[in-house]
Amino acid sequence: MKHFICLFVLISTLSSCSDNSIVVIEEVLIPSSGVGENVEHAVTRFGGSGDDRIYDVIKVDDGLVIVGQTNSVDGDFEGVNVGDFRYNDSSAFVLKVGLDKELEWVKAYGGDGESLFDYVFEDGDGYTVFGRSNSASGNFEGLSSFKAVLDSRGELVSVYAIPEDLSYAFVSDFISNSNLIQNYSEGTIHYLATGSKHRNVSLLYIDENLDLTLSRTYEGESNKSDWGVAGLSLLDGFLVAGNTQSNEGVFEGLNPDLLDNSSTNVFLMKTDRAGEIEWLHTYGGRERDELIALTKGGNDNYIIAGNNQTNDGDFEGYGGEFQRNINQIFMISINASGETEWIKTYGGSEREWLESLVATPDGGFLMSGLSYSNDGHFFLRKVNQDGEKEWVKRFNIGLSAKATFSYQNKSFVLFGSNEAAGENKFVLIQVDQNGNLIE
């Protein structure tokens, strides 16, 4: 299911670490005081006092465009929201934040009931958004799922109903973590969706008129679950990455050692443009190994990354003695033929959790997530193109990162909400090239 997201962080592109207050413990850098650096003095807050949830974010040339759902009628949503909030209605919103950490504009749409924007894409001088609604009035009356066109200031230009036979592909049950991606093919816009249908891996390719160009389902074991988490559209086909429990069907003989129904392996599949499988590989061991990210490397390679609990199979000899429920983070480099180039793992004495991975302009990668090896803090880790550690920074923010975006000289990390603390606003912090906070 797609995670609700309520906070984000702005950071500068990072190079090497020169902070003398940190020490290395089992490949995890932690402050010698035992706690991460507190960010409260360096935050800029956005939002209202209600329930503000971010579902997707994109980088644009001069900032971030963010979409989601809100029932706030004060703060940055004062005079913007719609609906009768006595009945806890919610509106779909879109907002723009610049590189100077200033809110440039915010718009909200809907009616009575709940409306939300799930996905946003830059489209010429404006934006295309996909959303859902159960409103019987307002902007999306009678539309359970829809595509909408917005201008450069977020003004609603047009709304189109998504055909019923495709509507399942635009809800979070099908696509986790914003795995609807947009690309240009032969001069036209297409959307690639990876997910699960009837517990099998599914791939959909849809044109800008919401006509289905390609639909493929890859069946595994009948009583197991397999699902796509990420995809890439290539000139000669598609890459689909995800998680699998099956040892039959398209995964026959690929996952023989999984222990139980809570165990998974990671898979990466290359198809041609018709969706026919050219190669399919799985990665992992006995326990739960889970894909989080798929991205392109700078050497005609692909990087898959996630969280692993195993110290056998593909991870034998990596990361020390196996302990159930003690996660490490892994990165695997795979060439265009599907061959493994290298495997790296990162972790400490407790659970480490990757939330996001992005390629950086220098050919390396920036990863973000949570480390529980020392009381649980948000971390940023920079590695080079071979996965070798350059530096790690930890912050005492108590939140998990959901997405990371890299510019030429800036990167963005999107945080999750701290519901226990009643924090529903968006929070923006900035750090310098060495990961140090900037007020």
pLDDT digit string, tens, across residues 128-164: 999 999 988 899 998 888 999 999 999 999 999 988 7
pLDDT confidence of residue 187: 65
pLDDT confidence of residue 178: 41
How does pLDDT run across 31-87, given as a tens digit for each residue?
333 345 666 676 777 888 888 888 888 888 888 899 988 888 888 899 888 766 656
- Pick 262 or 151 by higher pLDDT: 151
Q: Which of 308-317, 347-356, 413-422 has the lowest mean pLDDT?
A: 413-422
How does pLDDT run across 10-21, given as a tens digit for each residue?
333 323 232 322
Greatest CA separation for the chain = 59
Angle subtended at Cα 371 by Cα 367 and Cα 375, rounded to the nearest 5 degrees: 155
Model confidence band, residue 179 (pLDDT cutoffs 50, 70, 90): low
Place of tokens 């404006």: 126
How does pLDDT run across 385-395, given as a tens digit for each residue?
999 988 887 77
d(CA 294, CA 277): 18
pLDDT confidence of residue 198: 86
How does pLDDT run across 395-406, given as a tens digit for each residue?
776 555 555 555
pLDDT confidence of residue 415: 56
Q: SS in 3 state form for the chain?
A: CCCCECEEEEEECCCCCCCCCEEEECCEEEECCCCCEECHHHCEEECCCCCEEEEEEEEECCEEEEEEEECCCCHHHCCCCCCCHHHCCEEEEEEEEECCCCEEEEEEECCCCEEEEEEEEEECCEEEEEEEECCCCHHHCCCCEEEEEECCCCCEEEEEECCCCCHHHHCCCCCCCCCEEEEEECCEEEEEEEEEECCEEEEEEEECCCCEEEEEEECCCCCCCEEEEEEEEECCEEEEEEEECCCCHHHCCCCCCCCCCCCEEEEEEEECCCCCEEEEEEECCCCEEEEEEEEECCCCEEEEEEEECCCCHHHCCCCCCCCCCCCEEEEEEEECCCCEEEEEEECCCCCEEEEEEEECCCCCEEEEEEECCCCCEEEEEEECCCCCEEEEEEEECCCCEEEEEECCCEEEEEECCEHHHCECCEEECEECCCCCEEC
Whether residue 165 is predicted with pLDDT greater than 70 in this model: the reply is yes
When pLDDT is averaged across residues 362-388 and rounded to a whole number, the result is 80
Q: What is the mean pLDDT of the chain?
A: 77
Q: Which of 213-217, 223-227, 299-303, 345-349 has the lowest mean pLDDT?
A: 345-349
Contact 28, 347 (CB under 8 A): yes
Sign of CA dihedral 238, 241, 243, 249: positive
Model confidence band, residue 107 (pLDDT cutoffs 50, 70, 90): very high
Contact 45, 425 (CB under 8 A): yes
Q: Is 164 exposed, middle or buried (0-12, 13-18, 19+ CB in 10 A)?
A: exposed
Architecture of the domain made up of 7-438: 7 Propeller (2.130)
Q: Which two tokens stand for residue 418?
A: 């701290």
pLDDT confidence of residue 38: 65
Model confidence band, residue 333 (pLDDT cutoffs 50, 70, 90): very high
d(CA 76, CA 366): 31
Distance of CA 418 to the CA centre of its chain: 18
Contact 66, 86 (CB under 8 A): no
Q: What values do phi and psi take at 16, rounded to 5?
A: -105, 155
- Pick 307 or 319 by higher pLDDT: 307
Whether residue 435 is predicted with pLDDT greater than 90 in this model: the reply is no
Model confidence band, residue 336 (pLDDT cutoffs 50, 70, 90): very high
Contact 71, 50 (CB under 8 A): yes
Whether residue 244 is predicted with pLDDT greater than 90 in this model: the reply is yes
Whether residue 293 is predicted with pLDDT greater than 70 in this model: the reply is yes
The fraction of the chain above a pLDDT of 90, given in percent, is 30
Model confidence band, residue 176 (pLDDT cutoffs 50, 70, 90): very low
Q: Which of 28-37, 207-216, 267-276 has the lowest mean pLDDT?
A: 28-37
pLDDT confidence of residue 316: 56
Q: Which two tokens stand for residue 246?
A: 């099956």
